Structure 1
Amino acid sequence: MHVLILGGTTEARRLAGSLAAGTPAGLRVTSSLAGRVGAPRLPPGEVRIGGFGGAEGLARWLGEHAVGAVVDATHPFAGTISSNATAAAAATGVPLLVLRRPGWVPVAGDVWHETGSLEEAAGLLPSLGRRVFLTTGRLGLAAFAALEDLWFLVRSVDAPQAPAPARMEVLLDRGPFTLGGERELLRRHAIDVVVTKDSGGQATAPKLTAAREAGLPVVVVRRPPVPPGVPIVPDPEAAAAWITARLHRTAPTTDG
């Protein structure tokens, strides 16, 4: 069975590594990366980089490469590829599993303002602070470009492009981040409000703890929902078990 992992996340690399380390006979795994990051961390095994050409292109690729199962282990906010995966799986009859790390949950002391989009987040900022730690990545900065009275510290893996806030300092960095480092970042730049997407996971969660300790408001953009009817698991171990079960289900039997 040929399994396609739509990846780019820590969970996708862990799943590919787990399958590569103990690949059962008859299982082939290909990881697909979108190619939006300049120097991506490559998972073990076969890797393809670049888009498929929408849902129809992905469906065609699944057929041409005899894919027997797809695991959507993309970023929780990679809505386009998730939508395309759902459509392609439905069109081809290829089973689809979504691997999503659990979202963050506020705890005592958090001052969260949840929104449904970056545009809503931008609309809240003027009432919350003047110096913004923006941790939503390099894409989507246009939503904040009109906030000329606010100053932004933008952290991303690759350099952002216009349109972007006029008063902005860019910090090129990649997680995981430490609590001590996040505390110092907030202090050094006199940050008074944090903006983040609900990416979940531990790699970038220390900023939430640092903000809580400092009593800072955090604008949290809610993640889009998983398409209805698609099974979802929270970790690579559960995804590997799903793949193994499908492999056994499709394995040929012999009479003894």
Structure 2
Amino acid sequence: MPAHVLILGGTTEARELAAVLAARGGVRVTSSLAGRVTRPGALAGEVRVGGFGGAEGLAAWLRDHRVDALVDATHPFAGTITANAARAARETGVPALVLRRPGWTPGPGDRWHPVPSLSAAADALPALGRRVLLTTGRLGLAAFAHLTGLEFVARSVEPPAPPLPPHTEVLLARGPFTVDDETDLLRDRRVDVLVTKDSGGAATAPKLTAARRLALPVVLVTRPAPPPGARIAPDVPSALDLLGLGSD
């Protein structure tokens, strides 16, 4: 049984896992946040904020703090962090797993256009619509900055980083949103195409249901592949099993 678990967090699943581990006797849990959100919610256990300095810095932290298990519960698109975590785990011999909720799957009536990157999403847009709802987060909007003929609504929790497309309305909002909320937004802003990342999970899925209701196309940026040989847990109970903590 691990005595010290480091969780690379920032997701709902990371928060849930930290709460479960912190409630157990004999387990020290530390959650690490990148620091990109200025007001993160409260977390159970110990919390550190900021980067490690790449894979080497993370490996040193694992050794210095005697970490027994590493859980990468970052966002599915945090590819650099995931790669660094896998490398640090190999270098130190610390058992590691990736806690990652499954991606979304299309259903009847969905008009999804999978693309491998934000730049590919930008390339697909002119043929699909003129008024775009971007829900890809505050980073990476530069991929759309050259699309001067389109109008955008960019929704994020924090103000997005420039450059932005010239015709952009920034909508600062924090979910969860209901299907009716998302439907009203799409109608009120006269959106005719949605761009989002395949983050998975129920919390942010209502926008997809709303797009289906309105028969709107969805440009869906697909996830990067996990590191080769990674142990993947789709939910917190599975992560507990892989940590050897699946039963009290």
Q: Secondary structure at the match of 2:194?
A: strand
- What is the one-letter code of the residue matched to 2:152? F
Deviations 1:120-144 (A, max 9, x none): 0000000000000000001000000
Deviations 1:91-146 (A, max 9, x none): 10001100000000000000000000000000000000000000000100000000
What pairs with 1:22-61 in structure 2 (closer than 5 Å)?
23-25=24-26, 27-61=27-61
State the distance in 2 between where 1:224 and 1:43 align: 27
Q: Does the 8 Å contact 1:176/1:202 carry over to 2?
A: no
What pairs with 1:151-190 in structure 2 (closer than 5 Å)?
151-190=151-190
Could you say if the C-alpha distance between residues 178 and 247 of structure 1 is closer, same or farther in structure 2, counting changes exceeding 3 Å? closer
Partner of 1:253: none
Deviations 1:18-55 (A, max 9, x none): 1122x132x11100000011111232110000000000
State the distance in 2 between where 1:177 and 1:243 align: 33
Partner of 1:5: 7
Partner of 1:85: 85
Q: Secondary structure at the match of 1:165?
A: coil
What is the count of residue pairs matched by the alignment? 246
Q: Does the 8 Å contact 2:28/2:45 carry over to 1?
A: no
Alignment pair present for 1:14 and 2:10: no
What pairs with 1:122-141 in structure 2 (closer than 5 Å)?
122-141=122-141
- What is the one-letter code of the residue matched to 1:24? G
Unaligned runs of 5+ in 2: none
Partner of 1:254: none
Partner of 1:213: 213
Q: Does the 8 Å contact 1:138/1:159 carry over to 2?
A: yes
- What is the one-letter code of the residue matched to 1:17? A
State the distance in 2 between where 1:245 and 1:206 align: 33
Deviations 1:61-103 (A, max 9, x none): 0000000110000000001110100010011000110000000
Please report the RMSD computed on the Cα atoms of aligned residues, expressed in angstroms: 1.4
TM-score (norm 1): 0.94
Q: Secondary structure at the match of 1:67?
A: coil
TM-score (norm 2): 0.97
Partner of 2:240: 240
Partner of 2:110: 110
